[in-house]
Structure 1
């Protein structure tokens, strides 16, 4: 007899890092339940797109999804007026997602009713009829909050998927009060900004979206934060053992008026990442020939860019440190830190932007790759001793799970907030003291040597190993995050059976 199916709908945004996170959560939900219980879960993820639904490095991820996860890529809308106007990444994602909402609504309606509604997609109706019409819950990305009202219209539970830290979530839930308390620009605020349950931070370390109070980005951020309070629950990609105080501070039991918060992390990539190539093999073979914990892994993510001046200083600093390094995803210089966030484009010869003679002089010391690399495999390699990272939350969690201490080098979005958490809060990272200025080669060399050889680096490494153990415990069968997912799944299954 075929097992009954409980259907969950997800709504993501046109940002691959967000898509990975919410779909990896779906994979974990299915992994925990579909082979061990009497009810199957089926997940449909609705994804607005900017241009092509998948790119060279994202296609393998979507191809690797289990058959019980179905993705519907909505037709792209013309966003030419958004991509070259200097707006923040968050603003561009928010506005592009908003334009896709009519199609999101039609697609959700077709999933719930098994009918292709006017303007809906045939793919959505097909997906619904081959699984189940018992859509019991809608889970939307934190930047797709407009979709929450569709859950109420369709009489299904509506949840927020928050792919960042609990610290950032606490700031968001507290942001209406911050908006009233802080009267100047946050970067100019003379005192540290207080966040419930978290370390206080400098105003400049708040997300890019709030750094200009008169901007559209600021208004959208404030509006989004206010919408968080109306959901049936918030799933946050963190875990109790890492951010216990922040989780308790925002829980409804504290009289905060917040919805229930469910820490379900660490959710990280469980696929190698990007298309397999000779370059992947090259970097892994190179690591095989390096001593234990001797290599600094350097990556600014799939979209981060540095200025030409900063590329020069970083390269020369790595050389000056005399420490081994693996530098991947090197991109053409750009004064906008998020210049390639959407396109992911690589120039043919980005290595030409390195200082003259650098590659020859460091041939035995390091390896530079201008291409995508299998990050989780690299971080899990015994030769890697530290990670110089842009502090994207996915990268931070991968580093935690693999137990690799970090050098925090935030570029854009919420990355400075993440950097404050890992350096001053968790103390599992070191950070340049130059702030938003160009970090010079001497400071870089000192920082790298301190991490790889110094006493400060040794202490950071010790704390990271402890945090790694806590992450592993959270994911055990009776761990805090696994138990939370089980509780949510039981609630959803019960609703599905009662339909």
Structure 2
């Protein structure tokens, strides 16, 4: 009689943010691919009443059979004034309110199967305590850069060294192994040191330091080598860093499966190589009406081809649709574009409210630049496909990412902004950036740099690449502890 196959069961806990869900589930897919489906993954996902996951069914429907998602009952924020609560705080509150359901599901799973390891999203480090109680290996999945993780690790020192608000600090801040950074480019959650967001940031920083089994980071050694070395060498003193595993670049794979995506790609097929600027502000970014006008007119005046995807109605809050299921909250958001814009740019550009299949778009030969909000997923996708960027950060850690790709990796240009009724990128600056990337010598050097980083990214994910070896070593460790179902 044949013995039952050894299948290692891993449990993942995500948060109600689609960008986080995509990253951690793509890691699960990568794990299954490398291990020939000898793993079984259960992903527990808290949801909101407006959770974007419900509007992205194709991604979840296309997951391998060995990945099962458990969507928890919706958490709502009806008792909060969401307009005054940051994305980070809303995520943290969603985690707190979902904890009883997560605990209940973990206990139920542990009663029916042998769980080898728990991997919790970086916004849910409290789940590590559940792992300890179940006596299983417990990890944090950090979907951002090593530089951002370094800021968390270094946060207590920064808190002691800087007496003013970080945005008012006159000099550059030093983070071990990282580029020097302006205080204003630190994540949003630290910009008001008297806020709840800052308190939660410091709390998470301490929790990361207690992630004794390790932190999985969606980056790769060759892109952030010095930062990675600085963390790995931090083995002395009172504060030891946990093991950090670079397992990236983990990016979304597969087709969008949508009709709008096909139409978008057909339009790109008609354009010349490297001639189109792709514009997208991710799954939650929004612009004010004034900024929409300036960006649109800048695209028009540049005389270069453009594809503006996921266009949304204006909102003065940059993260207005981060938790909503639909970025197009009105019947026809295109009427918020400048009068006559669509008619004047017919043939020059395409504006679409629907999601574009971003991985396929960035891999298209027609794309010559990416005007991006600098979400980490988008940066990795751009790097993997060797597309230079215009860094246009909006919220969360996006300004930190923008500093990394412009000042550190030198694969992007960043706009100069004007202050008035808020921060504004004027149309003249948009024209200047597009022309610099698409025409100038500066653009040539940036394209050379990004092609170099692309090569390193591809090498990291090869069979003997640095990230593949790291994932394989983790998998072997987990398999050695796994038991038969």
Pair 1:140-2:128 in alignment:
no
Pair 1:469-2:469 in alignment:
no
2:12 aligned partner = 10
Distance 1:320 1:475 in 2: 40
Name which of 274, 294, 314 aligns with 2:295: 314
Displacement after TM superposition at 1:252 (Å)? 5.1
Equivalent positions of 1:425-440 (< 5 A) are: 425-434=408-417, 437-440=423-426
Distance 1:19 1:368 in 2: 27
Distance 2:61 2:86 in 1: 30
Aligned pairs, number: 475
Pair 1:283-2:281 in alignment:
no
Larger mean CA deviation between 43-52 and 219-228 belongs to 43-52
2:96 aligned partner = 98
Distance 2:325 2:179 in 1: 34
Displacement after TM superposition at 1:56 (Å)? 5.4
2:368 aligned partner = 385
The answer to whether the 8 Å contact 1:305/1:336 transfers is yes
Residues 253, 207 of structure 1: alpha-carbon distance in 2 compared, 3 angstrom cutoff: closer
Name which of 19, 30, 34 aligns with 2:32: 30
Pair 1:59-2:40 in alignment:
no
1:155 aligned partner = 135
2:276 aligned partner = 295
Displacement after TM superposition at 1:381 (Å)? 0.3
Distance 1:307 1:179 in 2: 33
Displacement after TM superposition at 1:79 (Å)? 1.6
Distance 1:27 1:17 in 2: 15
2:76 aligned partner = 78
2:43 aligned partner = 45
1:340 aligned partner = 321
Displacement after TM superposition at 1:57 (Å)? 3.8
2:343 aligned partner = 360
Displacement after TM superposition at 1:416 (Å)? 0.3
2:478 aligned partner = 492
1:453 aligned partner = 439
Distance 1:421 1:270 in 2: 24
Residues 178, 7 of structure 1: alpha-carbon distance in 2 compared, 3 angstrom cutoff: same
The answer to whether the 8 Å contact 1:252/1:260 transfers is no
Distance 2:26 2:359 in 1: 14
Deviations 1:162-205 (A, max 9, x none): 00000000111111111111111100111111111100111110
1:175 aligned partner = 155
Displacement after TM superposition at 1:434 (Å)? 1.2
The answer to whether the 8 Å contact 1:280/1:373 transfers is yes
Displacement after TM superposition at 1:271 (Å)? 2.6
Distance 2:484 2:357 in 1: 43
Q: Secondary structure in 2 aligned to 1:80?
A: coil
Distance 2:187 2:406 in 1: 16
Distance 1:344 1:400 in 2: 28
Pair 1:369-2:352 in alignment:
yes
TM-score, scaled to structure 2: 0.95
Displacement after TM superposition at 1:81 (Å)? 2.6
1:349 aligned partner = 332
The answer to whether the 8 Å contact 1:325/1:366 transfers is yes
Name which of 232, 241, 259 aligns with 1:258: 241
Distance 1:226 1:205 in 2: 22
Name which of 167, 180, 195 aligns with 2:175: 195
Displacement after TM superposition at 1:452 (Å)? 0.6
Displacement after TM superposition at 1:224 (Å)? 0.5
2:110 aligned partner = 112
Distance 2:198 2:439 in 1: 42
Following TM superposition, where does structure 1 have runs of at least 4 consecutive aligned residues deviating by more than 2 angstroms? 52-57, 81-85, 252-256
1:416 aligned partner = 399
The answer to whether the 8 Å contact 1:302/1:344 transfers is no
Q: Secondary structure in 2 aligned to 1:49?
A: strand
Larger mean CA deviation between 418-427 and 52-61 belongs to 52-61
Displacement after TM superposition at 1:52 (Å)? 5.9
Distance 1:85 1:389 in 2: 24
Distance 2:408 2:286 in 1: 26
TM-score, scaled to structure 1: 0.93
Higher relative contact order (CA 8 A, sep 6+): 2
Residues 235, 16 of structure 1: alpha-carbon distance in 2 compared, 3 angstrom cutoff: same
Q: Secondary structure in 2 aligned to 1:81?
A: coil
Residues 260, 75 of structure 1: alpha-carbon distance in 2 compared, 3 angstrom cutoff: same
